[in-house]
Amino acid sequence: MVFFLANTQLGIFTATIAFMAATTISLVISYAINRSIPTMPLVTAVFVMVFGGLTIWLQDETFIKIKPTLVNSLFALILTFGLLTGRIFLKVILNSAFSITDEGWIKMTRAWVAFFICLAILNEIVWRSVPTDTWVTFKVFGVMPLTLLFSFSLIPIITKHAIEEAGPEAAEGD
């Protein structure tokens, strides 16, 4: 939202600076609360700083526009690499949120890989075919809702592959 609001009022370059500042502030707050920074926001922040910095330094908005393509592609590659090497990185990242079988984690990982690839392709199509203000609007009001809808679409996988935790009754029967 910071990026969108700053862009509508002050343009893409000021919006990029505001986005970089908001990203830094969010990481600081996350660290202050949790004493750690989650991996995905950290990777995204590095890309924001690098591509945002290039955007400002070179006064070329292309860099901030390709950042989502590269971030989504990187996440897809990392998750795919994990699957190919027998490591389920999504499980490592989200295990505290969901207790599901490895089969469920694999299905969710494959779905996220496909989603990240779709987002990367979609970003490329949009930024290359519409004005900057429309691309910024798409980023906020298109990608965010799509991601939420996609996340909710995974609920059946989570439900189907949920691992039931043994309650106190199970321990008494042993």
Q: What integer pLDDT is reported at residue 136 of this predicted model?
A: 92
55 closest CA partner among 23, 11, 22:
11
Q: Which amino acid would we find at residue 52?
A: G
pLDDT in tens, the chain (174 residues): 888 888 888 888 999 999 999 999 999 998 998 888 877 788 888 988 998 899 999 999 999 999 999 999 999 999 999 999 999 998 888 877 878 999 999 999 999 999 999 999 999 999 999 999 999 999 989 999 999 999 999 999 999 998 887 555 544 444
pTM (predicted TM-score)? 0.82
Q: By three-state DSSP, how is residue 162 classified?
A: strand
Q: What integer pLDDT is reported at residue 170 of this predicted model?
A: 47
Left, alpha or beta for 162 (phi > 0: left; psi -120 to 50: alpha)?
Answer: beta
Q: What integer pLDDT is reported at residue 167 of this predicted model?
A: 52
Q: What integer pLDDT is reported at residue 168 of this predicted model?
A: 53
Let me know: does 19 contact 48? Beta carbons within 8 Å. yes
Q: What integer pLDDT is reported at residue 111 of this predicted model?
A: 97
Q: State the Cα–Cα distance between residues 10 and 26, nearest whole angstrom.
A: 22
Both tokens of residue 43?
Answer: 């990777």
Q: What integer pLDDT is reported at residue 169 of this predicted model?
A: 53
Widest pairwise Cα distance in the chain: 69
Tell me the C-alpha to C-alpha distance, in Å, between residue 118 and each of 54, 55, 74, 101, 170.
25, 24, 13, 26, 44
Both tokens of residue 78?
Answer: 């990392």
